[in-house]
Amino acid sequence: MTKPFQSSRHAALQSPAAVPMQFDVRIWREADGRLCANIPHSVIWHSPDGYDCGYGGSGSADLALNVLNAFVPPGPPLTEEDESERLDEPVKCYRGVCSRFAARYHQDFKWQFIASMDPTGGRIEASTIQAWIAERMRPQQSESPSTQDPIVQVQS
């Protein structure tokens, strides 16, 4: 059984997994109202108050960001040899570091999966998340570097 990662303003941020996550995402609400998930709360971009679901706010955005960051974790910083951005390129957030992929697509993921989820929680199958990610990675592999996102590159 995976230990839950509770969402609270005082919870310690967990390091992202070294390898992409391979299991279903489970989200539930405790009796006291706290939202918990079986993924690490490794990064904060929108909501220092923690995760939420069932609406399109900042807690839902951070949950989406952390789900994608678990499935597409950040890699090493870009080097001078890198000719273009990488989807696993690390991006600084308010607190922590996420992958460029997670930074770029978490709002879309939020609206498709997290905002429409029951406010008490739910489950998203790993295969569904992996297919959703694969759909977005295909066009990225042939595109030139994009300027659509105002993301600051992490310097080593």
Give me the mean pLDDT over the 85-101 stretch: 89
What's the whole-number mean pLDDT along residues 66-83? 86
Q: What is the pLDDT of residue 44?
A: 92
Reported as a pLDDT band with limits 50, 70 and 90, residue 139 is low
Phi-psi region of 154 (alpha: psi -120 to 50; beta: other; left: phi over 0): beta
- Judge contact between 99 and 88, C-beta under 8 A: yes
Mean pLDDT of all residues in the chain? 81
The pLDDT-based confidence of 58 (bands split at 50, 70, 90) is very high
Reported as half-sphere exposure (CB side, CA atoms, 13 A), residue 143 has a value of: 12
Over residues 12-30, the pLDDT tens digits come to: 344 444 578 889 999 999 9
